[in-house]
């Protein structure tokens, strides 16, 4: 699939050496959300953690908002790093980007891990909410995302992990408004990906926090069932941001997945 032009040249951090595993972050965060996981995966692996367009240290996305464009940015990054085929792991929005990558750059995908994400498209009401959020953040900045805090963190984290709550609140407050608005519009436009998953015969892990309210366990189960080689892992005591809330368990799950490839 030819890449859409122009691309956003993504900021990236790398560690380890070996075959590559690429970690795609969720909304409205950056590669920093993988901080407690990436270092645990380096035995035999080159761990590549980009900031998607408009987030972290990457420049803003340009053009019509679309996850295809974000997936093409990732493909262009792989070109830049000399990586032909990779394992992709994406959490939530990162999972949407990974599914778009699977549609557009299938031959470059060796295996796939989808964390706390959904294969279904948005219902019309959800699309409208995204547009409202986009406008609110453009008007008021990241603080307009504060109501998300309760949705993205599981009840166990909200009760028992104040340092995680404070960190995520800080990320929401400082989320870049243009990146947020562009990504909301891109996510609103995403298609249903169940057909993509059904045709994707590569090793696949679907991981979900048992307290995830945004991408619940039933959705994860349906995705694992759609994937010809899909395994399901449910992580206890965390919500939507599993890799931030329970990095120990997520690291263990990803290490086991990588070891089996
Ligand atoms: C995310 O965590 O990336 C978002 O919750 C995804 C979404 O808004 O659908």
Q: What is the pLDDT of residues 110-138, one digit of tens each?
A: 999 999 999 999 999 999 999 999 999 99
Ligand 1 centroid–CA 187 distance in Å is 8
**20 alpha carbon – ligand 1 mean position (Å):** 25
Q: Scanning the structure block, which residue is given the tokens 């409208």? A: 128
Residue 18 alpha carbon to ligand 1 centre in Å: 30
DSSP 106: G
> What is the token pair recorded at 141?
């900045």
DSSP string for 79-99: HHHT-SSEEEEEETHHHHHHH
Would the CB of 92 count as within 6 Å of ligand 1? yes
pLDDT in tens, 165-190: 999 999 999 999 999 999 999 999 99
The size of the chain, in residues, is 261
Least confident stretch, 31-35, 111-115, 139-143? 139-143
Neighbours of 231 (CB within 10 A): 16
| Structure-block tokens of residue 63 | 């053009």
Looking at residue 7, its pLDDT comes to 85
What's the confidence (pLDDT) of residue 93? Answer: 98
pTM of the model: 0.97
Based on DSSP, count helices (H) and strands (E) in the chain, helices before strands. 12, 7
**Of 237, 238, 234, 240, which is closest to residue 253 (Cα–Cα)?**
234
* 27/109 Cα distance (integer angstroms): 22
| Cα angle value 220/119/243 (rounded, 5°) | 55
The confidence score (pLDDT) of residue 2 equals 64
How far apart CA 234 and CA 10 sit, in angstroms, is 31
- Round to whole Å and give the CA distance between 73 and 4: 9
Asked whether residue 4 carries a pLDDT value surpassing 70, the answer given is no
Say what the pLDDT of residue 6 is: 72
Nearest C-alpha to atom 7 of ligand 1 is from which residue?
Answer: 93
The whole-number pLDDT of residue 190 equals 97
């Amino acid at each position: 699939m030819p890449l859409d032009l122009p691309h956003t040249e993504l900021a990236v951090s790398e560690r380890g050496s070996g075959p590559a595993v690429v970690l795609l972050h969720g909304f409205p965060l950056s590669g920093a959300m993988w901080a407690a996981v990436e270092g645990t995966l380096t035995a035999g692996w080159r761990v590549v953690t980009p900031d998607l367009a408009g987030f972290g240290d990457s420049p803003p996305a340009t053009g019509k908002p679309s996850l295809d464009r974000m997936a093409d940015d990732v493909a262009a990054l792989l070109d830049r790093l000399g990586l032909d085929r990779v394992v992709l792991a994406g959490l939530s929005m990162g999972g949407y980007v990974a599914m778009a990558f699977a549609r557009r750059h299938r031959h470059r995908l060796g295996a796939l891990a989808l964390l706390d994400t959904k294969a279904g498209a948005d219902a019309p009401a959800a699309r409208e909410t995204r547009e409202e959020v986009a406008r609110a953040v453009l008007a008021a900045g990241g603080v307009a995302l504060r109501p998300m805090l309760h949705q993205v963190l599981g009840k166990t984290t909200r009760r028992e992990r104040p340092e995680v709550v404070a960190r995520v609140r800080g990320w929401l407050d400082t989320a870049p408004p243009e990146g947020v608005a562009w990504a909301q519009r891109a996510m609103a436009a995403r298609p249903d990906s169940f057909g993509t998953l059904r045709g994707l015969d590569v090793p696949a892990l679907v991981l979900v926090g048992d307290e995830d309210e945004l991408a619940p366990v039933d959705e994860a189960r349906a995705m694992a069932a759609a994937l010809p080689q899909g395994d399901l892992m449910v992580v206890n005591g965390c919500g939507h941001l599993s890799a931030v809330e329970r990095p120990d368990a997520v690291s263990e799950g990803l290490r086991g997945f990588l070891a089996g490839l």
